[in-house]
């Protein structure tokens, strides 16, 4: 049974004055408390914008700094914990293997002796599976190794060679892609196919492939797929529909990953920011 007490009775019980009680109710929040409230409000906005799972306290701190807030990582971690804001934990990297066509010779590995020093110099590509309750989809991506930008991607309901060619073709719009560009992949049958080799030859693009059974040369693509699935996919990694999968992947790549997601390997900048800065500096140099 609920019992309601008068303010006078409560003040007498706790040996405090009524004037002191009313004064405490009117007292404004301290400056620190107001700052914390604003930080939490902004963190919830960032959390929502980053698919509600992408940023832990280190990246959250960087993003807050970028937005003009002054705060330490320890403070951000504490406030995130109190507000129940969490990133999805990263799992260990486990490389996959793909089927090589035994009748087709792979290209040599040109990646290690050709680090990317400019946009479009080195493209890397890979394929991953996307599970839905309506069946499988297959995602091919082509990344610019210099900026980590997903420069081309394509979703299809099969793993035919056209899947990787479509993703590669979209990447050719990136400034710098052309004769002499290195295109690196694993030894999957799509990449060693006649159609893929003709695509390379027609554009004077150099084909490069990882050693047999060694996927770490293509770890940047593998890392992107792991990040995509951790940050954008459902908890069980199975979409309800193919349409939902297409919408989610489009939104993640085009509106978040390329444009806003900060990378520690890029000095806490997003891929598109790296490209913009590069071309701005190039224009200044030419002038």
pLDDT digits (tens, 9 = 90+) for 66-125: 888 988 989 988 988 888 888 766 554 444 445 555 545 677 888 776 678 999 999 999
pLDDT at 212 over 80: no
Question: In the predicted model, what is the mean pLDDT of residues 18-35?
Answer: 71
Instruction: Report the pLDDT value the prediction gives residue 210, as an integer from 0 to 100.
Output: 85
**Can you give the three-state secondary structure of the chain, one letter per residue?**
CCCCCCHHHHHHHCCCCHHHHHHHHHCCCCHHHHHHHHHHHHHHHHHHHCCCCCCCHHHHHHHHHHCCCCCCHHHHHHHHHHHCCCCCCCCCCCCCCCCECCCCCCCCCCCCCCCCCCCCCEEEEEEEEEEECCEEEEEEEEEECCCCCEEEEEEECCCCHHHHHHHHHHHCCCCCCCCCCEEEECCECCCCCHHHHHHHHHHCCEEEECCCCCCHHHHHHHHHHHHHHHHHCCCCCEECCHHHHHHHHHHHHHHHHCCCCCEHHHCCECHHHHHHHHHHHHHHHHC
Question: In the predicted model, what is the mean pLDDT of residues 153-163?
Answer: 96
Cα–Cα distance, 227 to 148 (Å, whole number) = 13
Instruction: Report the pLDDT value the prediction gives residue 93, as an integer from 0 to 100.
Output: 42
Instruction: Report the pLDDT value the prediction gives residue 107, as an integer from 0 to 100.
Output: 78
User: What percent of the chain is modeled with pLDDT above 90?
Assistant: 52
Kindly indicate the confidence band of residue 147, based on its pLDDT and cuts at 50, 70 and 90.
very high
Cα–Cα distance, 230 to 234 (Å, whole number) = 8
User: What percent of the chain is modeled with pLDDT above 70?
Assistant: 85
Span 249-276, pLDDT tens digits: 999 999 999 999 999 889 999 999 999 9
- Any idea which residue has 């293997």 for tokens? 97
Q: Please state the pTM of the whole predicted model.
A: 0.76
Highest average pLDDT, of 45-54, 200-209, 212-221, comes from 200-209
Q: Are 157 and 136 in contact (CB under 8 A)?
A: yes
Query: What average pLDDT is seen over the chain?
Result: 86
Span 118-145, pLDDT tens digits: 999 999 999 999 999 999 999 999 999 9
pLDDT at 204 over 80: yes
């Amino acid at each position: 049974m609920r019992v309601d007490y008068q303010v006078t009775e409560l003040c007498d019980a706790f040996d405090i004055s009524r004037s002191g009680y009313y004064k405490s109710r009117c007292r404004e929040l301290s400056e620190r408390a107001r700052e914390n409230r604003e930080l939490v409000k902004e963190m919830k906005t960032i959390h929502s914008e980053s698919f509600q799972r992408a940023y832990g306290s280190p990246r959250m701190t960087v993003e807050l700094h970028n937005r003009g807030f002054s705060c330490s990582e320890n403070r951000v971690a504490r406030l995130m914990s109190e507000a129940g804001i969490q990133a999805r934990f990263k799992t260990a990297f486990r490389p996959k293997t793909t089927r090589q066509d035994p009748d087709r010779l792979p290209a040599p590995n040109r990646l290690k002796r050709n680090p990317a020093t400019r946009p479009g110099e080195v493209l890397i590509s890979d394929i991953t599976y996307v599970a839905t309750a309506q069946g499988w989809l297959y995602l091919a991506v082509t990344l610019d190794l210099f900026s980590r930008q997903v420069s081309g991607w394509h979703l299809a309901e099969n793993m035919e060679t056209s899947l990787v060619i479509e993703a590669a073709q979209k990447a050719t719009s990136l400034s710098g892609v052309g004769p002499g560009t290195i295109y690196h992949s694993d030894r999957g049958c799509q990449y060693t196919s006649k159609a893929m080799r003709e695509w390379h030859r027609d554009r004077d693009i150099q084909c490069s492939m990882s050693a047999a059974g060694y996927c770490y040369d293509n770890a940047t693509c593998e890392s992107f797929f792991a990040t995509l699935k951790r940050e954008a996919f459902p908890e069980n990694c199975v979409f309800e529909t193919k349409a939902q999968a297409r919408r989610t992947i489009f939104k993640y790549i085009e509106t978040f990953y390329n444009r806003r997601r900060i990378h520690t390997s890029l000095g806490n900048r997003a891929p598109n920011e790296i490209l913009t800065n590069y071309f701005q500096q190039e224009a200044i140099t030419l002038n």
